[in-house]
Structure 1
Amino acid sequence: MGSPFKDNHPSNHSLAKKLIPWTFYAMLPLVLLRVYFYPYPPHQTTATILTASSVSPPPTLSEDETSCDYTDGKWVPDRRGPLYNGSTCGTIKEGQNCIAHGRPDMGYLYWRWKPKQCKLPRFEPNTFLQLLRNKHLAFVGDSMARNQLESLLCMLSSVSAPNLVYRDGEENKFRRWYFESHNFSISVYWSPFLVRGVEKSSTGLNHNELYLDHVDERWAADMNGIDMVVLSIGHWFLHPAVYHEGDRVLGCHYCPDLNHTEIGFYDILRKAIKTTLKALIDRKGHDDKGIDALVTTFSPAHFEGDWDKFGACSKTKPYEEGEKTLEGMDSEMRQVEVEEVEAAKMNSMQLVKFRLEALDVTKLSLMRPDGHPGPYMHPFPFANGVAERVQNDCVHWCLPGPVDTWNEILLEVMKKWDYESRREE
């Protein structure tokens, strides 16, 4: 018995022979018009093209279709929630494990960043690991670098377990993990200034000492074994400090008991980043292996009132669009970092083995006053009622939390770089 759609009547064959050519010629103008006005599927963006890393995008993409402004957007509700929770990975710093510490509201977990002109895809752990197969990624900087690193480790652990292969025992400031599934290593280096520095302590100096013309060798000495580095500094520059350059003291920040000129910290931050990026270019920009580098921009704090009072950062929703503007110190810190990245990119344009981008997260982070641990930096802080003094963390980010978005953007930068590399082959 044949197909129910098959008809062998000879008159039907004759009619079909006459209609097929006319149908083709009638539809041809419509097809040509569609191709002319809509050469790609509607709303196609770079993000969706780059998601399929195994398939090369068309070589005729315009510049607009190979870039995305992730800084311009808004937070929108997302019912899917994060890829992990406070118990699914063992790398979360105790003070950022808000769920385990009893934070009662869970709404802060159900938002995602929506850029205005493109799509930011959900993080793809397997894609990330595949792009960094046989490589070494290092996060270098202060506690915000560690916050971002631990977010990434938790997201990657949803598909592959990392093994801690090194720690120095100094408050987890230097650690390395290894993903055997992809021969991939990821490290964190404590370096709150990126340049050489002596940190203030309870038993020594009551201010920091910075040497702005020397990169910090605690991480830079390992540069030859690093394929990609994410740099993140800012908050430590707000502390009292004395600044050195060469054999002279440039001045200081908040040092009334010392005989030095007060010069603030914006230009000092600029000098530190300039020295760091120059070291990367000089040491890695000319060799066969090269290096990829990103600078995560300043992450604003959200203290409203005293740090040791109840309600210092008690908001439970993101700011709405237009409710909060980027200004003052937050804007200045970001601007210094972005400008120095752009200047270094210009100075290294001829280097094919050196790639650099600013991971600009300042505005999207500014809009998330609800994402900090607050009093839940400590376990169950109100188990015995509200005390007179309640220590709050309105600087770092709960894990999971808004910092996960930083790594979603990091992955999109990596996919863009991969696309560009394959296109040049």
Structure 2
Amino acid sequence: MVTTFPQTHHFWRPRKQFITYALYALLPLALLHYLLFTPLPAPKPPLLVPPQAREGAEIFVPSQHGDAAVNARQELPPPPPPDQGQGLGGGALGETQAGEVSASPPCDYSDGEWVPDARPPLYNGTSCGTIKDGQNCMAHGRPDTGYLHWRWRPRRCAFPAFSPESFLRWLRNKHLAFVGDSLARNQGESLLCLLSSRSRADLLYRDGEDNKFRRWVFRDYNATVSIFWSPLLVKVAEKAEQAGVRHNNVFLDSFDERWMSQLGALDVAVLSVGHWFLIPGIYHDGGEVVGCHDCADLNHTETAFFGVFKEAVHRTLAEVARRHGADRKVVAFTTFSPAHFEGDWDKAGACPKKQPYRDGEKELGYTETEMRKTVVEAVAAAAANAGDGPLRFAVLDVTKMANLRPDGHPGPYMRNDPFAGVEDARVQNDCVHWCMPGPIDTFNEILLQTISG
């Protein structure tokens, strides 16, 4: 049966459809008109130091409470670039929104530039009691603070902001040790200060002159950090100039058991040596003197220290591989950290720079290049021999980034109030070690990415 609808129904149906279609067509047009012609509210300008402000200049920072401007004498760099921020992502380790660690492609952290960063450091000269006195530049009265406000930006990948919590979580129930000379100690104390900004470190053990062997524990995580003094990694009878001995006696066929014997208890060993190889030394191998460095007063064959440094590095890594056992272990080697003396060590202005070098402004010297190359090649060879086993070798290639930071050393402020009102006083300068906080904190930012990657 066919049902016949009245004629009036056939007249109104197309009309209703036309109205419906017209409304659907007008809605997108109205939305487009709103987006194109409705002005957006102006963003609230951030509280930044004006570009014309220079280090040490008098600047005015508006009060956030609407009160009169606060006259604040500050020494800050220009504002950070637009990509500055906590959520950088993209390195060997990134933080998800839930705070979990996520893996991503490895990053070449050695190639980059220092860029302004207005964020304050995670610690200061009074909040961290682990800083060796000579590196506590803030407490010793260093007047400029611009050296605190730079961050390293790799060229081809992003660098996540350092997370003490991430490092502590990774280090839970593990033992990490810094092994080497005073730069190894400098880096170790930096890490302790960074981590102490989130969890208290308790000193468990100390021994040796100037507390050269120390151990701490972060009890909240059962995480242990040690520092072992071993300035050449191999066995050495250290110089004693007060007793008339100006040469180190270096035994290339023996290892420094003060730290090597502890290898089995370590999950991570961070090695860092270099500067002590520049000191006059007599070299022993197989029970014989095989050469010496800077020994014109002795009847020995003069030998360049580069070859000895190479032997010590290669032999140490080979011995670590032989002894490490079946447990998982990371051995990271920090490359040579250049000094920045531009004048005499006992005169003002020995390392006078107040800002980093720009890329290309300060090339690496021959010594720094060769020392870095030795470590990079030795670690690569050790990693190839280790294969996919439980022992992992890594290099912390910091030589270039350190070379660009002449402003980060204590200089005369290795002593408290060094000039005491006399600007041209003859004082000792330190243009080798790093202020804390300072550029050496970045070494440990790279360490976090390396061991967690």
- If the TM-score is normalised by the length of the shorter chain, which range does it land in? 0.7 to 0.9
Pick the aligned partner of 2:274 from 234, 246, 252.
234
Compare CA radii of gyration and give the structure with the larger one. 2
Q: Is 2:327 aligned against 1:289?
A: yes
- 1:384 Cα shift? 2.7
Unaligned 5+ runs, structure 1:
1-10, 20-42, 58-64, 417-425
Task: Tell me if structure 2 keeps the 8 A contact 1:81–1:111.
Answer: no
Return the alpha-carbon distance in structure 1 between the equivalents of residues 119 and 314 of structure 2: 41
Residues 113 and 405, structure 1, Cα contact 8 Å, conserved in 2:
yes
AA partner of residue 335 (structure 2) = T
**Structure 1 residue identity aligned to 2:447:** L
Give the equivalent residue in structure 2 for 1:112. 151
1:323 and 2:367 are equivalent in the alignment: no
Q: Does 1:261 align with 2:301?
A: yes
Judged with a 3 Å threshold, the aligned counterparts in structure 2 of structure 1 residues 126 and 189 are, in CA distance, closer, same or farther, namely same
Does residue 1:393 correspond to 2:430, yes or no? yes
Matches within 5 A, 1:132-147: 132-147=171-186
Partner of 2:349: 311
Q: 2:94: which partner in 1? A: 50
Q: Does 1:383 align with 2:420?
A: yes
Q: CA deviation at 1:415?
A: 2.0
**1 or 2 for the larger relative contact order (CA 8 Å, sep ≥6)?**
1
- Aligned residue number for residue 188 of structure 2: 149
SS in 2 for 1:126: helix
CA contact (8 A) 1:51 1:415 kept: no
Structure 2 residue aligned with 1:90, among 129, 149, 154?
A: 129
Distance across 2 between alignment mates of 1:213 and 1:51: 45
Question: In structure 1, what is the equivalent of residue 384 of structure 2?
Answer: 346
| Alignment TM-score, normalising by the size of structure 2 | 0.79
The DSSP-based 3-state class of the residue aligned with 2:358 is: coil
Which residue of structure 1 lines up, in the alignment, with residue 370 of structure 2?
332
Residue equivalent to 1:34: none
Verify the 8 A CA contact 1:48 1:119 in the aligned structure 2: no
SS, match of residue 209 in structure 2:
coil
**Runs of 4+ with deviation above 4 angstroms:** none
SS in structure 2 of the partner of residue 212 of structure 1: strand
RMSD of aligned Cα (Å)? 2.1
User: SS state of the match for residue 179, structure 2?
Assistant: strand
Q: More deviation in 46-55 or 318-327?
A: 46-55
* Structure 2: unaligned runs, 5 residues or longer: 1-15, 25-86
In structure 1, the partner of 2:320 is 280
Q: Check whether the contact 2:327–2:391 (CA below 8 A) recurs between aligned residues.
A: no
In 1, distance between residues paired with 2:201 and 2:101? 28
Q: Which amino acid aligns with 2:134?
A: G
| Residue aligning to 2:117 | 78
TM-score, with length taken from structure 1: 0.84
Determine the C-alpha separation between the residues in 2 that align with 1:103 and 1:347: 47
SS in 2 for 1:175: strand
1:197 is matched by which residue type in structure 2? Answer: V
Please say if 1:217 is aligned against 2:261.
no
Moved more, 383-392 or 183-192: 383-392
Q: Give the 3 Å change call, closer, same or farther, for CA 207–77 of structure 1 in structure 2.
A: same
In 2, Cα distance between equivalents of 1:354 and 1:99: 40
1:101 matched to 2:147: no
**1:312–1:44 distance in 2 versus 1, CA, 3 Å:** closer
Match of 1:374 among 390, 411, 423: 411
AA in 1 matched with 2:263: M
For residues 157-236 of structure 1, the aligned pairs below 5 Å read 157-201=196-240, 202-203=242-243, 205-236=245-276
> By how many angstroms is 1:279 displaced?
1.2
Once the two structures are TM-superposed, the CA of residue 264 in structure 1 deviates from its matched residue by 1.1
Contact 1:95 1:377 in 2 (8 A): yes
- Name the SS for the 1:167 alignment partner: strand
1:407 paired to 2:444: yes
- Is 188-197 or 335-344 further displaced after alignment? 335-344
Instruction: Provide the residue aligned with 2:397 in structure 1.
Output: 360
**Identity of matched residues, %:** 55
Query: What SS class does the counterpart of residue 114 from structure 2 fall into?
Result: strand
**Distance across 2 between alignment mates of 1:268 and 1:409:** 28
